[in-house]
Amino acid sequence: MASTDTIPAPSTIAATTQAELETRKWRVTVLISGSGSNLQALMDALPATLSKCSIVSVISNSKDAYGLTRAANHKPPIPATSFSPYNYQKLHPELFAEAEKEIKELGDRVKAGEDVKGQWAAKKKELAARVKPLYQVELAKRVKDTKPDLIVLAGFMLILLPGTLETLVRDWVEEDGSQGVEAEGTLRTLGASPYPSELAKGSPIPIINLHPALPGSFVGPHVIEDAWEAFNQRKLPVEGEGIKEGVPESAKSTPAPSTADPSQPIKDLADSLASTSLSSSSTAAELTPAAPAIGDEPSPFGPRITKTGIMIHRVIPELDRGEPVLWREVEMKEGESIGDLKERIHKVEHGAIVDAVEQVTGELGSGKWWK
């Protein structure tokens, strides 16, 4: 006869049976690159605001990301792992051995004082370009293996390639609607799928990204710095925090003065967004930066702005141009350092990312996300 230690208590059996009859929680996989403060905001919201969600996995492209520790310290611990382009390169040495050998030889020549630094840098760049798409194929597989209902990019500092996005499709079947989902290296979620049955298989996995700029404004990795410079109409001081060299990318294509309103594209986008049901109180006028007077020399930092902010948007192949799920504004302040501006923006991010996940999972359940 089996030991009584192996027989679940009746109350446990009843609780499990009841859980399997209910709709399971939304499976959320979070991708990070750094400290994971937005991940922490999501985890803190799980018991209450995001009570219908379960963060089943955290994946980072950096082994040093503190967000991995945050996930491990959560109760219950959330499975977390790192996987970087360097990891992929080392997993497949046969693909890159010749290039690595050439780079090492050039590096040794640079150390010896030879004038081959340009060749060395070019070869390293060439190797990185070869690794990137192959790495992302494997990254997409690992993400998909977590069987997510939603992927959240919360400070994930890699741009997902179009081919990567195309592979992130729900191609698995939840065999028994009452048994939930179990995937290796993730938390199990009991219960029937919350997905509308016609979308349970074959549909793209929804992906949202947190971007620290307003819709239609700055794109790329240095948008907070871009906003600071556009407000102050000068470069960040050399001694400042988070220094970025050169003119902002968003300002390099500033057109010459003309009778046309240089802020019209942002006005048009703001008008379009204001006519939707997106979660924001912004108006077209509030999102429109002040335009320089006709005849003035265009600023290298673009039109002066008085507001910046954050948005959570759908991820599409075009960088930071997916349809916003929601956005929040942040007023610019005279005399504020870039460090203080970043701190204020991050605080806004923490609430907004929770609101976005709650909103998106609601839209997934109703089918509105695909309409």
CB burial of residue 111 (10 Å; 0-12, 13-18, 19+): exposed
For residues 41-63, average pLDDT: 96
- What are the domain boundaries of the chain? 89-127, 210-369
pLDDT band at 335 (very low <50, low <70, confident <90, very high): very high
Cα-based distances in Å from 319 to 15, 106, 154, 211, 313: 46, 34, 15, 10, 11
pLDDT at position 371 is: 79
Provide the percentage of residues in the chain whose pLDDT is more than 70. Answer: 77
CA–chain centroid gap for 178, Å, is: 32
Q: Which is more confident, 322 or 301?
A: 322
* Cα separation, 349 vs 125, whole angstroms: 33
pLDDT at 296 over 60: no
Torsion angles phi and psi, residue 32, rounded to 5:
-135, 170
In this prediction, residue 96 carries a pLDDT of: 93
- Higher-pLDDT residue of 199 and 2 is 199
Rounded distance between C-alpha atoms, residue 141 and residue 280, angstroms:
35
Closest CA to 66 of 94, 35, 89, 95: 35
Please give the single-letter amino acid code of residue 228: W
At position 316, the amino acid (one-letter code) is I
Nearest to 53 by CA among 264, 367, 352, 362: 362
- What is the rounded radius of gyration, in angstroms, for the C-alpha atoms of the chain? 24
Non-local (6+) Cβ contacts of 198 within 8 A are: none
Q: CA 327 to CA 217: how far, in whole Å?
A: 12
Phi, psi of 214 (to 5 degrees): -75, 155
Within a 10 A sphere around the Cβ of 332, how many other Cβ atoms?
17
Neighbour count for residue 17 (Cβ, 10 Å):
11
Q: Average pLDDT for residues 340-350, to the nearest whole number?
A: 97
- Residue of 16 and 368 predicted with greater confidence: 368
Q: Which residue has the higher pLDDT, 265 or 58?
A: 58
The three-class DSSP label of residue 304 is coil
Q: In which band, very low, low, confident or very high, does the pLDDT at 54 lie, cut at 50, 70 and 90? A: very high
Reported residue count of the chain is 371
Task: Give tens-digit pLDDT for 237-279.
Answer: 865 444 333 333 333 333 333 333 333 333 343 343 333 333 3
Decide which of 348 and 369 is more confident: 348
Structure-derived torsion over alpha carbons of residues 134, 137, 140, 142, reported in degrees to the nearest 10: -80
pLDDT on residue 253: 34
| Phi/psi at 179 (5° precision) | -90, -10
pLDDT (0 to 100) of residue 178: 60
**Greater model confidence, 360 or 240:** 360
For residues 178 and 181, the model is more confident at 181
Residue pLDDT, tens place only, 137-166:
999 999 999 999 999 999 999 999 999 999
- Rounded CA separation 20/41 (Å): 28
Give the model's pLDDT for residue 173: 78
Mean pLDDT (whole number) for 38-55? 96
- Residue 138 tokens read as 């494997």
Averaged pLDDT, 325-335 = 97
**pLDDT: which is higher, 175 or 286:** 175
Determine the pLDDT at residue 21. Answer: 52
pLDDT tens digits for range 195-229 = 877 776 788 999 999 999 999 999 998 999 999 99
In this prediction, residue 196 carries a pLDDT of 78
